Amino acid sequence: MKTNEKRTSIRDIAEKAGVSTSLVSYVLNGKGKEHRVSEEMAEKVLLVAKQLNYHPNMAARSLRTGKTKTLGLIVADISNPFFAKLARRIENIAWEKGYQVIFGSSDESKDKFEKLTSVFIEKQVDGMIVTPPADCHEHIMQFVNRSIPVVMVDRHIDGLPVSSVQVDNMGATYALTSHLLQMGHRKIALLAYDMKLSNIEGRYQGYRKALKNNGIPSSEEIVYSVLFKDFDKTVSEALKKILAQKVDAIVFATNQVATQSLITMSHMKKLPAKLSLVSVDRPEFRLSNIPVMYVEQPLAELGEKALEILFRQIKETKKQVVEQITLHADWKKILSSQDMSDMAEHQAIREAAGSDEF
């Protein structure tokens, strides 16, 4: 194995085997039979290809076929564990189907999102999975206009001819809030995220619906929403305002909001004696003496369903059916941050673990 100067091409194989390049191409693509290439020739070609350690040039192939076997994935932030896991699931499934994935983090910015769309379009991705930031209609339409299949995941944007997969967000916060009400709490705050995002909006609605159904008047003074910009700071400020109002409980709309809130609390000297916390998705941080209850989004299914739809759209180049799917998870399964067995494989579902003793 010596240092080659030039990459070996299909032409090199053709010459060495004494055949035409098309013959080689047919064989290498497994279309030998189909194009009546003799058994012996096929073997010879394959042998030579192996000898020369041939690897196809995808750029050339893509140029010719118009397909890249590459998928684009735009998430808000790949270093957020929620998206990291989603990405990993998607990467794995795609891999099995012979596709690679290019990632990009939008940081919830429509400008960054736009730049990402440009890059992905230029890279000729065969399909896109996106968690769209607010106000990015037009950029998503860039894909649609070029008939690049897109599936929105986690959130969706109305009025676009684009498929989407999301969870029943309203159900999640409805279950969590109801649970708090059942525990006897009455003054329940909501600490949300960008309300422009469909999933957050849904979680807000679930929270309100639960209150309404139980005859509790909802007060806008204990509902806060924060943005991606200055996230840590604004979460901390909102939290402090909420705590100042002596609430019984807080509903965190996302694990990121919950995490940052817990970190903030860990710096405080005093915390309300009785305060219940619930969150959508497990916070990454936990306080030693305040348990956080949470429901978990079916992350794997989210990715699987999205890819299923995407691959279907990639196949069917003709009529594109827009599918809007809402996964209905069992939000009754409320987990607790103090119950540590859920970390292993998320199987254990105990209600309130008291296993603080060692």
Residue 350 in contact with a second copy, rule: CB under 8 A: no
One symbol per residue from 65 to 84: x for binding a second copy (CB under 8 A), - otherwise; what is it?
---x-x------xxx-x--x
Per CB under 8 A, which of residues 5..24 are in contact with a second copy?
Answer: 5, 7
Residue closer to DNA, measured from CB, 43 or 135: 43
Length of the chain counted residue by residue: 358
Cβ of 75: how many Cβ atoms within 10 Å?
Answer: 23
Cα-flanking dihedrals φ and ψ of residue 109, to 5°? Answer: -100, 130
Cα-flanking dihedrals φ and ψ of residue 5, to 5°? Answer: -90, -45
Please name the residues in contact with 28: beta carbons below 8 A apart, sequence gap of 6 or more.
10, 45, 46, 49, 54, 56
Of 275, 127, 291, nearest to 187 by C-alpha is 275
Please name the residues in contact with 57: beta carbons below 8 A apart, sequence gap of 6 or more.
7, 9
Among 46, 109, 285, 333, binds a second copy (CB under 8 A): 285
Q: How far apart are CB 97 and DNA at their closest, in Å?
A: 17
DSSP H or E stretch at residue 150: strand 150-153
Residue closer to DNA, measured from CB, 42 or 87: 42
Tokens of 334: 């409320």
Residue closer to DNA, measured from CB, 45 or 73: 45
Please name the residues in contact with 223: beta carbons below 8 A apart, sequence gap of 6 or more.
189, 190, 192, 204, 207
Residue 91 in contact with a second copy, rule: CB under 8 A: yes
Residue closer to a second copy, measured from CB, 122 or 220: 122
Residue 38 in contact with a second copy, rule: CB under 8 A: no
Residue closer to DNA, measured from CB, 20 or 266: 20
187 binds, among DNA, a second copy, none (CB under 5 to 8 A by kind): none
Per CB under 8 A, which of residues 244..263 are in contact with a second copy?
Answer: 263
Contacts with a second copy by CB under 8 A lie at 1-5, 7, 55-60, 62-63, 68, 70, 77-79, 81, 84-85, 87-88, 91, 100-105, 118-119, 121-124, 141, 144-147, 232, 263, 265-271, 284-289, 340-341, 343-344, 355-358
